[in-house]
Structure 1
């Protein structure tokens, strides 16, 4: 799909504009990445991969809980999201996994195995990273993962793989589609409004809608059973979390995920939609902290 700037994208990401923005920035091979590294330096490091639209601010509540309980956290905005570059490249899981690889290397975090957390589309990215860097991954936490729906001939994602159609739809209806998608992610209307404001503010930067629709073209979010099966075969201790009222990646896929991933632990979060780390950060932290601690103790013993 040809790069475009959508109506309403009235800001540009530059070295000068980033000086007034929250977070840290590093130049990687594909572009500038927006990240935050927080928490005690001697804590186990948890690396988080987010979904289709979200900037790193999505993780704020969970980061606060994990840092308070002794864990170090690395969050980043995937290319095309937050304050990371809108790159003119194929937006697929290889790009996003390479971004995580280079970021953790640049920050000197690979001297000790990492704890990966991936949610929604980010679960596919985390699994891709784990397959490429098995020795660097101590635990894997998967939250409401995309990828388990069955492909359909009439799926919008299939239609969007056509460059001409994708460009037309993205330019004419992209922002409306984005807002409708965000409206299905969380149960609480107040949190839903907060999420929408957060995402749309970052989508004022040029190239944001292009990045999302190019991702929809090149990163399959259905029919990914083989990736789940391959991840399960890696033998990485895995925690599977799911919101009981997830309307985006329905709980009906839980049994399939369990069969393929073979997680050591799984937990369904009550009264929770698709974005558990954003909606229920304390509940998610209560699951991650002991899971990470148990693995760290085994490695140290």
Structure 2
């Protein structure tokens, strides 16, 4: 799909634009990444990989809860999201895995195994990362993962297979589709408004809608059972979490995920939609922190 600037994208990600933004920025091989590294310096590090549209601020409350529980957290905006660069490379799993690998290495975090958390599309990125860097992953937490819906003719990577059609849909209906998607992510109306404002603010920067639709073209979010099965065979201690009212990746896929991933632990988060780390940060932290601690105790014993 040819790169484009959509209507409403009236800002550019320049050094001046980034100057007033919280967090840190680092230049990696594909572009500049916006990240935050917080919590006790000598603690285990939890690295978080987000979904299709979310910036790193999505993780703020969960990061705070994990920091309180004695864990260090690394959050970032994937390329094309938040205030990381909009790149002209193909937006696929290779790009996002490379971003995480380079970021953790450049920040000196690879001297001990990491605890990886992936939600929605980020779960697919996390599983791919784990397959490629299994020795550096101590635990894997998967939250409301994409990938288990059956492929259909209307699946995004099939519907958008044609560059011409992908560009047409993205330009004409991209923002409308984006807002509709955001409306289904969160159960609580107030949190839904907060999430929408957070995402749409970042989507004022040129190349944002292009990044989303190029991702939908090149990162399949259905028919990924083999990736789940491969992850389950890695032997990495895995925690599976799911919101009981998830409308994006429905609970109907929960048993399939359990069968394929073979998680050590699993938990359904009550009264929660698709974005459990954003909607129920305390409950999610209550699951992750002891899971990480148990693995650390085994490694040190």
For the aligned pair, the TM-score class normalised by the smaller chain equals over 0.9
Runs of 4+ in 1 over 2 A off after TM superposition: 154-157
Which segments of 5 or more consecutive residues in structure 2 lack a partner in the other structure?
none
- Partner residue in 2 for 1:191: 191
The root-mean-square deviation of aligned C-alpha atoms, in Å, is 0.6
Q: Deviations over 1:78-106 (max 9, x none)?
A: 00001100000100011000000000000
Find the residue that maps to 1:259 and give its secondary structure.
helix
- Partner residue in 2 for 1:39: 39
1:201 shift after superposition: 0.2
TM (norm. structure 2) is 0.99
- Partner residue in 2 for 1:179: 179
Task: Tell me if structure 1 keeps the 8 A contact 2:156–2:216.
Answer: no
Which segments of 5 or more consecutive residues in structure 1 lack a partner in the other structure?
none
CA distance in 1, matches of 2:162, 2:121: 21
CA distance in 1, matches of 2:50, 2:113: 20
CA distance in 1, matches of 2:211, 2:258: 31
Find the residue that maps to 1:267 and give its secondary structure.
strand
Q: More displaced, 155-164 or 245-254?
A: 155-164
Find the residue that maps to 2:87 and give its secondary structure.
coil
Counterparts of 1:1-301 in structure 2, within 5 Å, are: 1-301=1-301
1:161 shift after superposition: 1.8
Find the residue that maps to 1:268 and give its secondary structure.
strand
Q: Deviations over 1:140-165 (max 9, x none)?
A: 00000000000012334411121001
1:294 shift after superposition: 0.3
Find the residue that maps to 2:153 and give its secondary structure.
coil
Task: Tell me if structure 1 keeps the 8 A contact 2:56–2:76.
Answer: yes
CA distance in 2, matches of 1:65, 1:162: 43
Q: Deviations over 1:228-272 (max 9, x none)?
A: 000000000000000000000001101110111000000000000
1:14 shift after superposition: 1.3
Task: Tell me if structure 1 keeps the 8 A contact 2:62–2:282.
Answer: yes
CA distance in 1, matches of 2:12, 2:161: 27
CA distance in 2, matches of 1:228, 1:117: 15
Find the residue that maps to 1:200 and give its secondary structure.
helix
Find the residue that maps to 2:140 and give its secondary structure.
strand
Task: Tell me if structure 1 keeps the 8 A contact 2:240–2:265.
Answer: yes
CA distance in 1, matches of 2:200, 2:27: 24
Q: Deviations over 1:178-218 (max 9, x none)?
A: 00000000110110000000000000000000000000000
